[in-house]
Amino acid sequence: MDFGLSLEQQMLAESVTRLMRELCPLDHVRQVAEGGSAVSAQSQAALAELGLPGLVVPEVHGGLGLGLLDAAVVATALGEAVAPVPFCARHVMAPLALIAAGSEAQQAQWLPRIAAGEVRFGVGVHEQVSRRDGSGVRCTGGALTGTALFVLDCAEADHLMIADQTGRLHIVSAQADGLELTVLKTIDATRSVGELRLASTQAEALADDGGAAVRRVIAAGRILLAADSLGAADAMIAQAVAYAGQREQFGRVIGSFQAVKHMCAEMAAKNEPCRSLVWYAAHAFDAVPAEAELVACHAKSHTGEVGRFVARTATEVHGGMGFTDLLGLHYWFKRIGFDRQVLGGPEAVREEAAILQGWTARAA
């Protein structure tokens, strides 16, 4: 019995954290964000050296063959650094889609290239969670038509993993005819999401499994967004505590006032159980698959709520400075805001959790 991270997982997290401290300090994040690319090339290259593109790809296909808990500790480290690098969708959700619903031939064709960083996927599954502005993709005769909104990690993507309205997953080339990918501008300049328009675009379908694979991919994405939000919240709490220890008013550091200390204590008290929840959800994804979808919902919704509280409270601890662009605290604030909504906000995800437990019928 050991509820916690293995030594290897702790080392993996430390490696990512160390790399990001070196290659991706706030000044660099700001540079990338203001450049509008959402990708730090130097961070991406260093993380590829570490093997992140093949993190969850089985060893037989040239990857590291690690599990979702390993991916989650990486996501937490990236969230802590507000690192502008594609990760959740490109390096985890896309290969997991192939592992779940790819034929042997498809796995042999795609997984080694994913692990080697030769193909870069974006992932569009949002219509399975929430359809907005008429989005939705139909598949007819092996070709896709329609719109996918909030395609994740779309920056520099050369391929896209897209769910049609039945939940079946398809691979399309970013160069295919009838395909148009537009970047959406969000609050979070460290992530890339896009709008994908498809008009009779040729696609390579994965297995028609009644939506099982896409549900698993969404569960993985939710757990990783929760892990990312956790890391971002950790960073905001640490910054609030540090700032409160330096800033003086009324002849004292403000961190000695109970009003300020209690704000920090509340953040820590709400955030710390999220760590165990995220770890368990990631562990369950591989070890207790029957529980994975439900606990992924819990992790996503609860870190979403706690993240919002921490983002707002940590900003308030910084007073007026927190509201400025000077400290850059808003990068974490916005990252947490992104993590909360993408792949389902707390209310939507809680409703899914209720449906999964048979507490209510699925709405038509």
Partner 1 sequence: MDLSYGPDYETFREEVRGFIAANRHLAPKNAGRAARPSKEGVAWQKLLIQHGYTARTIPREYGGFGAEPDILKSRIIAEEFARAGVPGGLANQGISMLVPTLLELGTEEQKRRWIAPTLAGDVVWCQGYSEPGSGSDLASLKTSARVEGDEFVVNGQKIWTSTAKEADMIFCLVRTEGDAAKHQGISYLIFPMNTPGIEVRPLRTMTGHAEFNETFFTDVRVPVDQIVGQRGQGWFVANATLGHERGMLGDPDALENRLLALIELMKVEQVGGARVIDLPALRDRLVALQAEVAAMNYNGMRILSNQIKGEPGGMAKLIVKLQACELAHQISALAIDALGELGILYNGSAHERANGSWQWNYMFQLGLIIGGGTAQIQKNIISERGLNMPREPRLDLPKGPSAQGGQ
- At residue 60, what is the residue type? V
Q: Which residue has the tokens 């802590």?
A: 80
In 39-93 the beta strands, taken as DSSP E runs, fall at none
State how beta strands 169-173 and 159-163 pair: antiparallel
d(C-alpha 81, C-alpha 205), whole Å: 36
Query: Please, which residue, 2 or 104, has the CB nearer to partner 1?
Result: 2
- Give min distance, CB of 57 to partner 1, in A: 21
d(C-alpha 230, C-alpha 49), whole Å: 25
351 scored as a contact of partner 1 (CB under 8 A)? yes
Which position among 48, 305, 341, 345 is part of the footprint of partner 1 (CB under 8 A)?
305
265 scored as a contact of partner 1 (CB under 8 A)? yes
Stretch of 34-42, 137-145, 155-163, 257-265 contacting partner 1, by CB under 8 A = 257-265
Chain positions 81 to 110 lying near partner 1, rule: CB under 8 A, are none
Write out the DSSP string of 233-244.
Answer: HHHHHHHHHHHH
353 scored as a contact of partner 1 (CB under 8 A)? yes
141 scored as a contact of partner 1 (CB under 8 A)? no
Query: Please, which residue, 175 or 246, has the CB nearer to partner 1?
Result: 246
Alpha-carbon distances, residue 118 vs 3, 102, 110, 268 (angstroms):
36, 18, 9, 41
Which position among 103, 276, 321, 324 is part of the footprint of partner 1 (CB under 8 A)?
276
226 scored as a contact of partner 1 (CB under 8 A)? no
Q: Which residue has the tokens 């080697």?
A: 116
Query: Please, which residue, 158 or 266, has the CB nearer to partner 1?
Result: 266
Stretch of 2-10, 95-103, 132-140, 164-172 contacting partner 1, by CB under 8 A = 2-10
Which position among 197, 247, 261, 312 is part of the footprint of partner 1 (CB under 8 A)?
261
347 scored as a contact of partner 1 (CB under 8 A)? yes
The H or E element spanning position 355 is helix 346-356
69 scored as a contact of partner 1 (CB under 8 A)? yes
Query: Please, which residue, 287 or 321, has the CB nearer to partner 1?
Result: 287
Which position among 244, 292, 310, 342 is part of the footprint of partner 1 (CB under 8 A)?
244
For residues 336 and 308, the answer to whether their CB atoms sit within 8 Å is yes
**What does the chain come to in residues?**
364
* Chain centroid offset of residue 49 CA: 20
4 scored as a contact of partner 1 (CB under 8 A)? yes
d(C-alpha 336, C-alpha 342), whole Å: 10
CA proximity to 128, closest of 117, 137, 141: 137
Within a 10 A sphere around the Cβ of 34, how many other Cβ atoms? 9
Query: Please, which residue, 5 or 225, has the CB nearer to partner 1?
Result: 5
CA atoms lying within 13 Å on the CB side of residue 347: 1
65 scored as a contact of partner 1 (CB under 8 A)? no
Write out the DSSP string of 281-341.
Answer: HHHHHHH-HHHHHHHHHHHHHHHHHHHHHHHHHHHHHTHHHHHSSSS-THHHHHHHHHHHH
Residue 90 in tokens: 């490109």
d(C-alpha 165, C-alpha 170), whole Å: 11
350 scored as a contact of partner 1 (CB under 8 A)? yes
- At residue 16, what is the residue type? V
Which position among 60, 199, 212, 269 is part of the footprint of partner 1 (CB under 8 A)?
269
342 scored as a contact of partner 1 (CB under 8 A)? no
Query: Please, which residue, 84 or 255, has the CB nearer to partner 1?
Result: 255
346 scored as a contact of partner 1 (CB under 8 A)? yes
Query: Please, which residue, 69 or 125, has the CB nearer to partner 1?
Result: 69
Which position among 82, 143, 218, 274 is part of the footprint of partner 1 (CB under 8 A)?
274
10 scored as a contact of partner 1 (CB under 8 A)? no
Contact residues for partner 1, defined by CB under 8 A: 1-6, 69, 237, 241, 244-245, 252-253, 255-258, 261-262, 264-266, 268-270, 272-277, 279-280, 283, 287, 295, 297-299, 301-302, 305, 346-347, 350-351, 353-354, 359-360
